[in-house]
């Protein structure tokens, strides 16, 4: 069962912009050894939108082999074109993904019936369970509760990454949850309240730099110890906020490089942080190292 701290992994790049597979392997090993409950590759944090299909295929092959079933591997396979989402999900599931993460259509968005048909088609094609991804701040649309009620009954739809940041909406989603349909927080700043209403963990940017602490928050919540979990969350809040001071994954990659990881830069149009934001991020990281590690 998928639960706990699931890292939304960055994609490390070499100086020439190519994928740094040596560092990717080290990151996978790091999370397998540090209480992370699952790894998401080719998500938003992994810069999937600027990675070619050929590169994605190689990243999936490499990650499946390196992870070697130590913890679940989730692969981002969504698209705003249904046929592409079907093809990507089918391909990555055949390559060995344990789950696929499928974002709602973006830009062209869709109506409710189209959304339902989109996810049903992807779930029918995928050889592994589908986790839907609701992030209206990125896509410009949010899944209706009625659509979720319909889709929650599909035997190959495992659950939803809920990243709206809207607790009222999430509470409505929680009424749909069951032993067959699960919810994960998509926001690091509200892990505790999300788990208090039924989320089984978080798909986390923070876990890239603080895997043990992110996992600890989830473990405490699972045991019903929300007071202690909330204390850790509040202590980490300055760093969590800094990780989104500019568009993700710019700050988390800056943070990781500052902390000794070798994840490199970004693919355009992403660019390096403004100096004042970088200074704030580094200052908060340095003053909170005892909490992070």
Sorted by where each begins, the domain ranges of the chain are: 4-224
| Arithmetic mean of pLDDT, 22-26 | 98
How do residues 120-171 score in pLDDT, each as one tens digit?
999 999 999 999 999 999 999 999 999 999 999 999 999 999 999 999 999 9
Dihedral angle of Cα 57, 101, 164, 289, to the nearest 10 degrees? -70
**Burial label, 182 (beta-carbon count in 10 A; 0-12, 13-18, 19+):** buried
> Quick check: pTM over 0.85?
yes
Mean pLDDT throughout 214-226? Answer: 98
The Cα 57–Cα 65 span in angstroms is: 12
Q: What is the rounded CA–CA span in Å between residue 61 and residue 37? A: 20
pLDDT at position 206 is 98
With 80 as the cut, is the pLDDT of residue 256 above it?
A: yes
Indicate the average pLDDT of the chain. 97
The kind and range of the H/E element at 284 are: helix 275-287
Distance CA 214, CA 7 (A): 9
Q: First-to-last CA distance in the chain?
A: 27
pLDDT at residue 293 above 80? no
DSSP 125-184: H-SS-EEEEE-HHHHS----HHHHHHHTTSTTEEEEEE-S--HHHHHHHHTT-BTTBEEE
Question: Is the model's pLDDT at 292 over the cut of 90?
Answer: no
pLDDT of residue 69 exceeding 90:
yes
**pLDDT given for residue 145 in this prediction:** 98
279 within 8 A of 259, measured Cβ to Cβ: no
The CATH class for the domain spanning 4-224 reads alpha beta
With contact defined as beta carbons under 8 Å apart, do 144 and 108 qualify?
A: no
Whole-number pLDDT of residue 73: 98
What residues are labeled active site? 133, 161
Q: Please compute Rg for the chain using Cα positions.
A: 18
Could you give the C-alpha distances from 119 to 116, 122, 193, in angstroms and in order? 6, 5, 27
């Amino acid at each position: 069962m998928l639960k706990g701290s699931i890292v939304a992994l960055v994609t490390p790049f070499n100086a020439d912009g190519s994928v740094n597979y040596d560092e990717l392997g080290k990151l996978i090993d790091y999370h397998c050894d540090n209480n992370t409950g699952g790894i998401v590759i080719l998500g938003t944090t992994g810069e999937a939108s600027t990675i070619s299909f050929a590169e994605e295929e190689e990243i999936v092959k490499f990650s499946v082999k390196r992870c070697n079933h130590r913890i679940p591997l989730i692969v981002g396979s969504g698209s705003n074109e249904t046929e592409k989402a079907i093809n990507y999900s089918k391909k990555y599931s055949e390559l060995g993904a344990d789950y696929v993460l499928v974002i709602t259509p973006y830009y062209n968005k869709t109506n409710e019936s189209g959304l339902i048909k989109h996810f049903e088609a992807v779930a029918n094609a995928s050889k592994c369970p589908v986790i839907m991804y609701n992030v209206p701040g990125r896509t410009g649309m949010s899944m209706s509760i009625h659509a979720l009620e319909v889709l929650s009954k599909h035997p190959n739809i495992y659950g939803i990454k809920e990243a709206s940041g809207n607790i009222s909406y999430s509470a409505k989603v929680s009424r749909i949850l069951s032993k067959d349909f699960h919810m994960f927080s998509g926001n690091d700043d509200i892990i505790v309240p999300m788990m208090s209403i039924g989320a089984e963990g978080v798909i986390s940017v923070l876990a890239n730099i603080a895997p043990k602490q992110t996992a600890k928050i989830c473990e405490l919540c699972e045991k019903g110890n929300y007071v202690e979990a909330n204390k850790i969350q509040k202590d980490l809040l300055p760093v969590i906020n800094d990780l989104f001071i500019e568009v993700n994954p710019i700050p988390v990659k800056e943070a990781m490089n500052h902390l000794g990881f070798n994840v490199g830069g970004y693919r355009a149009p992403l660019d390096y942080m403004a100096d004042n934001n970088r200074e704030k991020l580094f200052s908060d990281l340095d003053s909170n190292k005892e909490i992070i590690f």
